[in-house]
Amino acid sequence: MKSYVPSPLDTSDVTLPKELDELSELLSRHVHEVWCKSRINNGWSYGVSRNDELKETPCIVPYDDLSEEEKGYDRITTQETLKLIIKLGFKISKNQL
């Protein structure tokens, strides 16, 4: 079997504007909620420690209850996604009501 080598696009040249901090955190929270829902739908539940056989994980909790380390995984995903959107030439703007 051939070894998989991930090759995401390089976004190291993109700096997220400060105006996207709030959006980034909201998206990180949403990423966690989507992940939790998917896990629960696949038979997983909360457990004190991760147990793949029993389908238990300590991460099925509200985002605010995650450790900063666990939140970091969601934040990296969100920030890299936002950077890619900008790198590809899209603009992110908020409609003013």
Mean predicted confidence (pLDDT) in 49-56: 97
Domains of the chain: which residue ranges?
Answer: 18-87
The three-class DSSP label of residue 23 is helix
- Tens of pLDDT, residue by residue over 74-86, are 999 999 999 999 9
How confident is the model at residue 94, as a pLDDT? 85
Q: How far apart are CA 82 and CA 71, in angstroms?
A: 16
How confident is the model at residue 97, as a pLDDT? 65
Q: Which CATH architecture has domain 18-87?
A: Orthogonal Bundle (1.10)
Dihedral sign of CA atoms 34, 87, 19, 96 in order: negative
CA 14 distance to own-chain centroid: 18
Helices (H) and strands (E) in the chain, counts: 2, 2
How confident is the model at residue 16, as a pLDDT? 96
Q: How far apart are CA 45 and CA 51, in angstroms?
A: 10
Q: What is the pTM of this model?
A: 0.87
How confident is the model at residue 28, as a pLDDT? 98
